[in-house]
Amino acid sequence: MLPREDIHNFADASLEIILKFDDHGNVLYANASAKGELGYGEELTGISLDKLLPAELHLQEGGFSLEAALQMTEGMMYRKNGTCFPVQMAVKQGSGQNLLFANNIAQRVETERKLVRMKEEMEETLKVRNEFVANVTHELRTPVNGIRGHVTNLLENGVSGEVKGTLDIIIRCCDNMSAIINNILDFSKLEAGKFVIEEKEFNFYKMVNHTVETNIPAINGKGLRIMVNIDKTIPEYLIGDELRLTQILNNFLSNAVKFTSVGYINIEVTKTVQFDDEIELFFVVSDTGIGISPEEKDKLFKSFSQVDASITRKYGGTGLGLAITKQLIELMQGSVHLDSEKGKGSSFSFSVRLHVAQKEKEENLVSEHFEFINQNQEMPGYDNVEKFFQFGTPENVQEIQGKMEKLILCMEVEAWDKAENFAHNIKELLEQAPKDLKRAAFRLEMNVRKADHDKSVEQYESLKAVFEEAIGGM
Ligand code: ADP
């Protein structure tokens, strides 16, 4: 055993407060840290622990209780000058001599208190911000709906062609504005963790059909093709948040339409897991559009991020859609993935977990009522997409001829918005063509953009002639 002096030397070197006391609570020895922290000199020896830890030990009526002292783990230790500090303690019992080890945890407690205060402040700021967002978006929604309503009235009362064009643009602007307002509101709710996923019964096939249907005008307007394939083993009635699932699917689909000018959009839905009434569905939305490079991929799914500023100018949007979609998918216990190659199209896939409803399956409903679902057309892989753009391939020629037919029709009925899309498609499809053809396609697009009927028809005929000559000679 070490001599007492050595033990005291070791104890004095410790940063911890060490006190030795008898069974009556009288201090027999105090190390240097104890004296320093408590502001005592040698007189600390002989003092009762009651005085140092009054709150903890005075709780026991009838004075010092060794039993109570042995229970102490945390408390307030008092200095000679009456000030106090929080400590963490351990008390060890010996025969007639006991040891108390204590650490001053004032700094830790203060840090914890600061953290709690910061968290409360952050929560308060977030709350104020969310209330502000909720109020502002509500205030914005009212006038936007008002404008839209009045313009719809004007359109219903019959207006001239030119005015109708302007009013249509106003309606489209209102719809864009409403979509942005909804996105901001959703984003703020998701951030505040206030988003609740509903659990209601819905018809899954109807939901997909409706989502596709709302995008059909845009798909047709751009002359794209769409295919939808749903695994027939998916029950018709499911339980989940129909509105949010629609929002997720619609976001991928409308992006696919927005960023594709030639080719196809394909939607596939398969059942990956079904256990009892739980079901996991796997969706793939692929397109033959502009694609996304690996560097750009990392930026996606983050709020307010679009792959580059030119995208915002050309296609609009807030860059909130995918960030919201990703969080919604995660709330439905799923995940999202992107496969893409710049210039060759994108394929977004995601899974969600839903429940199967108890309802009977209504036979044949799917095939009878859903025109877009399970159309068995061949969807070309990414490799084939190149053939669209490679001048002179059968795919390229056929695509150009198709677009030319649609273009002349649109020009004849003066649907200039659509005509501009087709003229743009044709120009893209002729990207690898000889110079004279490329120039003709460029001039055609310019005239169509100016909505100049006569010049557009003239330019159309001239492009057609050069095109037929070029492919005739191939
Ligand atoms: P936004 O509301 O602006 O469309 P999103 O979050 O939905 O925002 O999309 C963010 C960006 O991701 C888009 O601006 C675009 O650059 C890119 N993106 C999304 N979907 C596609 C797609 N199918 N093809 C190419 N780029 C895409």
Distance 259 CA to ligand 1 centre (A): 8
pLDDT score for 313: 47
Distance 179 CA to ligand 1 centre (A): 15
CATH top-level class of 200-382: alpha beta
Ligand 1 binding pocket mutation candidate from 251, 260, 322, 326 (most atoms within 8 A of CB): 322
Please report the sign of the dihedral spanned by the C-alpha atoms of residue 346, residue 351, residue 352, residue 355: positive
Q: Which residues line ligand 1 (CB under 6 A)?
A: 251, 255-256, 259, 287, 289-292, 300, 306-307, 311, 317-322, 346
Ligand 1 binding pocket mutation candidate from 183, 247, 259, 295 (most atoms within 8 A of CB): 259
**Domain formed by 109-191, architecture:** Orthogonal Bundle (1.10)
Phi, psi of 328 (to 5 degrees): -65, -40
Q: Domain ranges in the chain?
A: 4-104, 109-191, 200-382, 390-472
In 3D space, the residue among 272, 441, 431 whose CA is nearest the CA of residue 349 turns out to be 272
pLDDT score for 231: 87
Q: What is the pLDDT of residues 33-79, one digit of tens each?
A: 999 999 999 999 999 998 899 888 776 566 788 888 888 999 999 99
Instruction: Please state, for a pLDDT cut of 90, what percent of the chain lies above it.
Output: 43
Distance 267 CA to ligand 1 centre (A): 17
CA of residue 78 relative to chain centroid, distance? 53
pLDDT score for 415: 84
Superfamily for 4-104? PAS domain (3.30.450.20)
> Given its phi and psi angles, is residue 62 left (phi above 0), alpha (psi -120 to 50 degrees) or beta?
left
Q: Which atom of ligand 1 is closest in space to residue 290's alpha carbon?
A: 25
Spatial CB neighbours of 357, under 8 Å, sequence gap ≥ 6: 201, 235, 237, 238, 239
In 3D space, the residue among 429, 250, 268, 241 whose CA is nearest the CA of residue 339 turns out to be 268
Distance 280 CA to ligand 1 centre (A): 25
* Helices 106-156 and 161-191: angle between axes, nearest 10 degrees: 160
Residues of the chain with pLDDT below 50 are 311, 313, 360-361, 363-370, 374-379
pLDDT score for 341: 85
Distance 377 CA to ligand 1 centre (A): 26
Q: Whole-model pTM above 0.85?
A: no
pLDDT score for 214: 86
Distance 408 CA to ligand 1 centre (A): 31
For the chain, give the secondary structure using H, E and C. Answer: CCCHHHHHHHHHHCCCEEEEEECCCEEEEECHHHHHHHCCCHHHCCCEHHHHCHHHHCCCCCCCCHHHHHHCCEEEEECCCCCEEEEEEEEECCCCEEEEEEEECHHHHHHHHHHHHHHHHHHHHHHHHHHHHHHHHHHHHHHHHHHHHHHHHHHHCCCCHHHHHHHHHHHHHHHHHHHHHHHHHHHHHHHCCCCCCCCEEEEHHHHHHHHHHHHHHHHHHCCCEEEEEECCCCCCEEEECHHHHHHHHHHHHHHHHHCCCCCEEEEEEEEEEEECCEEEEEEEEEECCCCCCHHHHHHCCCCCCCCCHHHHHHHCCCCCHHHHHHHHHHHCCCCEEEEEECCCEEEEEEEEEEEECCCCCCCCHHHHHCCCECCCCCCCCHHHHHHHHCCCCHHHHHHHHHHHHHHHHHHHCCCHHHHHHHHHHHHHHCCCCCHHHHHHHHHHHHHHHCCCHHHHHHHHHHHHHHHHHHHHCC
pLDDT score for 106: 93
